[in-house]
Amino acid sequence: MFTLTNVGAIAGGDAFLLVTPGKTALLDSGFSFCAEQMLDNIGEELGRRSLDYVLLTHSHYDHASGSVYCRRRWPQVQVIGSAHTGLVLTKESARRLMRQLNDSAGGEQGVTEYEDLLSELKIDLVVSDGDIIDLGSMKLRVLELPGHTRCSIGFYAEKEKLLLGCETIGVPAGTGLVMPCCLVSYADSLQAIERVAKLDIQFLLLPHIGLLQGDACQQFLVDANYWLVETRRRVREANAAGKSEADLIQLFKDLFYTELIRQNQPEKAFDLNASYIIPQMLKDA
């Protein structure tokens, strides 16, 4: 048995608390500018228990920033991520960017002052493909799923048929619509979707969205596969017809900057992501 609860402070900084009879784990950790609110939400859910793990799907600021704050509230917590996530989080340039993005996201929420702990960002336990994280009754197998970033990973609990996904497999943009999020590789993203589609999944946790159940899990992966391939086809077709890069980004935006995406992603972040995704789609796979 397990429970999964969104304990994120605000939309876009979502984090999910996974509680099993033996252990507790936070899936991604949200922003830093509103981390205190998230800690309170976690504390309320945990009651007298403490937080054992923070599992980071990748190193982006809206997923990893809150991990430091968790370590301060629960000093024994182990922050888990891939080797590449560990590398990124200790880079001064990455911390600077994360700080800027947190400031800007905080500014949009009217938060101008908060304690900045990003200089303490780190991974306590590096995991790689096939490693098992022991959550008592639940065993999570690490899946390296690069494509969104080089450092992206997911987790699969075979007995529970639960996949804790990452953005490499796509982001829901509406009914039947899944936005590709291949910032570093189209081919790797396609491979990742094909890989997880072979798993027996009855529960699929999607970052920023929440838990899908039953047939909706495989349907999401079918849609993700379709839209990744189809978007690339449309982008390449437009490119062959002589459209500019700005046109291609607009094509992507017309398709995917929907109300659902808007709720979780500021326009600036969306445009920046699109400017990485389009070149990946133009590359020969």
CB of 58 to Zn ion, least distance (A): 6
Closer residue to Zn ion (CB): 74 or 256: 256
Q: How far apart, in whole angstroms, are the C-alpha atoms of residue 226 and residue 222? A: 6
Closer residue to Zn ion (CB): 60 or 95: 60
Write the DSSP assignment of 197-266 as a string of letters: HTS--SEEEETTTEEEETHHHHHHHHHHHHHHHHHHHHHHHHHHTT--HHHHHHHHHHHH--HHHHHHS-
CB of 16 to Zn ion, least distance (A): 15
Using the rule CB under 5 A, give the single segment among 13-21, 123-131, 136-144, 167-175 that binds Zn ion. 167-175
Closest by CA position to 58, among listed 167, 159, 217: 167
192: three-class secondary structure by DSSP: helix
Using the rule CB under 5 A, give the single segment among 45-53, 82-90, 122-130, 159-167 that binds Zn ion. 159-167
Q: Per CB under 5 A, which of residues 108..127 are in contact with Zn ion?
A: none
Angle, to 10 degrees, between the axis of helix 245-256 and the axis of helix 215-240? 150
Q: Which of 12, 16, 35, 60 binds Zn ion (CB under 5 A)?
A: 60
Nearest residue relative to Zn ion (C-beta):
60
Using the rule CB under 5 A, give the single segment among 99-107, 136-144, 166-174, 261-269 that binds Zn ion. 166-174
Q: How far apart, in whole angstroms, are the C-alpha atoms of residue 213 and residue 79? A: 27
Write the DSSP assignment of 13-24 as a string of letters: S--EEEE-SS-E
What burial class does residue 109 get, using C-beta atoms within 10 Å of its C-beta: 0-12 exposed, 13-18 middle, 19+ buried?
middle
Using the rule CB under 5 A, give the single segment among 164-172, 197-205, 238-246, 250-258 that binds Zn ion. 164-172
The count of residues interacting with Zn ion (CB under 5 A) is 2
Left if phi > 0, otherwise alpha if psi is -120 to 50, otherwise beta: which for 161? left
| Binding of Zn ion by 232 (CB under 5 A) | no
CB of 24 to Zn ion, least distance (A): 24
CB of 181 to Zn ion, least distance (A): 7
Closer residue to Zn ion (CB): 19 or 274: 274
- Residues lying near Zn ion in the complex (CB under 5 A) are found at 60, 167
